[in-house]
Structure 1
């Protein structure tokens, strides 16, 4: 018998195999790096003033201007959503004798773009507007991206390779596949939430002015997949 394999390529014998039908269970991993398909921006539009009505009117106007800027990119915009709205009085500081409350409002907008050339222009125009803050971009893949399927194919091929290597070490060959299952959901890094490592850039401007478009370099995404496969082997001559 060969030496016991390490944890990265462990062969596991299940309860039901017999000398006439031995089994081997292996894990296969697939990992690829791909260019992102989407860039997500978070835009916050703000208004502030002594009276609620003018603040609301100002916020409505600025929000409409921002939405128009984004929509002007046409097919480059995959998604545009208003993710939050707030308008409320600011509490006066204690001991200052201030009675007049200042009202502050903001609208949060999320936009996803597929054209990264248009992205740089849009970020520049948004950040150059009064009372507008931009966060991002977050580089992402589509949920139905072919990259996920490719990572799974690589994981399956790796599982077959490992199982065949164990069988060959015993002087035999694989028989049939008994079971194939996901060891974990494939996706960028550890998953959509925690594994993205977004590139965060914040922009804010008080007065508009002509500035060149930002040159934003997309950050490549790492996509992983893991499978567990169980095979039968032809009885080895030990």
Structure 2
């Protein structure tokens, strides 16, 4: 039976500690677009009605893309008075309304057209795209497997350097896998037909050619092994 109580091993059962790392580059799976719809009116009701109408226009446009827009999320909504100083009195000059929407797309063929059409709407601002992998993407598991394989390979090389062999795995500590800051990447071929939008409206701005950013997935593990006695 192997004795695991000695933190540094024994001359007969030396311990070996290594770290395994893996860094994968992979295509993004989704893109998020931040949309801010604004309105301005002389009174609260007018600002709210205009904001509601423009918000509905954006939502209807997004839904017209079908499964290509897989998620719509409404964030903050605000109606704010614009104050005007006249002498010692403050009066409300106008009301400003804003609502923030996040659209998640999985069809990059449609992304450029959708972004352009939203940007072409009145009193509408867009931010993005923010490229990402899904939390359950297979890329995370593949990175972890490669990190473990790299740890085992490194341990074997250390053991071989002293004329020993790996005898047992004592500990494998998962430090996790996470996305790092993405780097620019030329777009590859993305399957799937464009959504049935009927094309851009006459006179509309041309669709943007957006280049997806390849994602970096990083994994790291610590591994401890028991070796056979080295031949020094």
Q: Which bin holds the TM-score, normalised by the shorter protein?
A: 0.7 to 0.9
Answering whether residue 144 of structure 2 is matched by residue 152 of structure 1, we say yes
Equivalent residue in structure 1 for 2:47, among 46, 55, 76? 55
Which residue does the alignment assign to 2:177? 186
Which residue does the alignment assign to 1:101? 93
RMSD: 2.1
Which residue does the alignment assign to 2:207? 213
Uncovered stretches (5+) of structure 1, i.e. residues with no partner:
1-13, 190-194, 199-207
Answering whether residue 21 of structure 2 is matched by residue 29 of structure 1, we say yes
In 2, distance between residues paired with 1:117 and 1:141? 17
In 2, distance between residues paired with 1:127 and 1:118? 14
Which residue does the alignment assign to 1:172? 164
Q: What SS does structure 1 have at the residue aligned with 2:213?
A: coil
In 2, distance between residues paired with 1:229 and 1:98? 68
Structure with a larger share of its residues in strand: 2
Aligned length: 211
Which residue does the alignment assign to 2:71? 79
After superposition, the C-alpha distances for 1:17-75 in whole angstroms (9 at most, x for unaligned) are 11111110000000110010010000000000111101101100100010011111111
CA apart distance, 1:131:
0.5
In 2, distance between residues paired with 1:40 and 1:63? 18
Which residue does the alignment assign to 2:122? 130
Uncovered stretches (5+) of structure 2, i.e. residues with no partner:
1-5, 185-201
Change over 3 Å in CA distance of 1:224–1:76 after alignment to 2:
same
Change over 3 Å in CA distance of 1:170–1:94 after alignment to 2:
farther
Which residue does the alignment assign to 2:229? 235
Q: TM-score, normalised by structure 2?
A: 0.85
In 2, distance between residues paired with 1:233 and 1:90? 74
